[in-house]
Chains A and B, each alone.
Chain A
Amino acid sequence: MSLLPSCRDVARHLSDSLDGGRHLGMHVRLHLSVCEVCRRVLAQFELIRRGAARVPEEGPSLTPESKARLRRALEPG
């Protein structure tokens, strides 16, 4: 059994670190320094975070019927 974390361990560490759960320890950093795939995973997790935080400017709109319903709901009385 290796003392160094596996790619599987590292993927979990990377996810936890994005939620502030734990800092990447020396062993994980060492693994990242030699494992291109795991560096890629970190970059991709971060990229997904940036993309997901964006509010979509395009996409479906309310139907005219829905808008009419909403307008009625906002009418006084």
Chain B
Amino acid sequence: MTTEPSTWVDAYGDRLYRYALSRVRDEGSAEDLVQETLLAAFKSRDRFKGESSELTWMTGILRNKIFELYRKQAREAPLAPAGDDDGPETEFFDARHWSAAAAPRDWAGEPALKAESAEFSAALGKCLGALAPNVARAFILREMEGAAPRAAAEALGVAPGHFAVLMYRARLRLRRCLEKGLFAPEST
């Protein structure tokens, strides 16, 4: 038995919206996902057994909707197979080693605490926005949604090897972007 559906928007709307927005990075799509989630919850409310909280139940529905959206985007704009070119990594490495400009620096202060902060979420959002969409989607499915690599690759319509390349590129770029913006900004 659920609470009165007319209370859901006020009770859960903002939290579902923030969740969706952090995963799809577009306000219109995030709002659509919240609406689809609430409607799906409304239709299946008789099956809600109260084994988890309503918010957890709705977040589960939302996560499925996010996967569906990614699958749809992958069908509409399939990715080209990943080449084994060295292009994207040359900005980080001089042949075998980190280039002087890109070498990872020590993250100052208490980085573990910083990674739990709202500041981190905001910086991550900004850094994800600077990635190529396919690279950002791979990272979101794997690291934010916790999807298994095979399931995430399947949702994106790519082979496991291609997915590994996308994750590698995402981690290299996000590491550098977060370092510059949050963890070890260069003094000006």
Residues of A within 8 A of B (CB): 2, 6-9, 11-12, 15-16, 18-21, 37, 40-41, 44-45, 47-62, 66-67, 69-71, 73-75
Interface of B is mostly: helix
Within 8 A of A (CB), among B1-32: 5-6, 8-10, 13-14, 17-19, 21-22, 27, 31
Instruction: Determine the chain A residues whose CB is within 8 A of the CB of B21 once the complex forms.
Output: 59-60
Q: Of B46-54, B67-75, B105-113, which binds chain A?
A: B105-113
Residues of B within 8 A of A (CB): 5-6, 8-10, 13-14, 17-19, 21-22, 27, 31, 34-35, 38-39, 42, 89, 92-93, 95-98, 103-107, 111-112, 114-116, 118, 120-122, 124, 139, 142-144, 146, 149, 160, 163-164, 167-168, 171-172, 174-175, 178-179, 183
What are 5 of the A-B contact pairs (CB < 8 Å)?
A21-B160, A59-B118, A62-B31, A62-B34, A66-B17
User: B168 and A74: CB pair below 8 A?
Assistant: no
Which of B17, B96, B144, B164 is within 8 Å of A53, CB to CB? Answer: B144
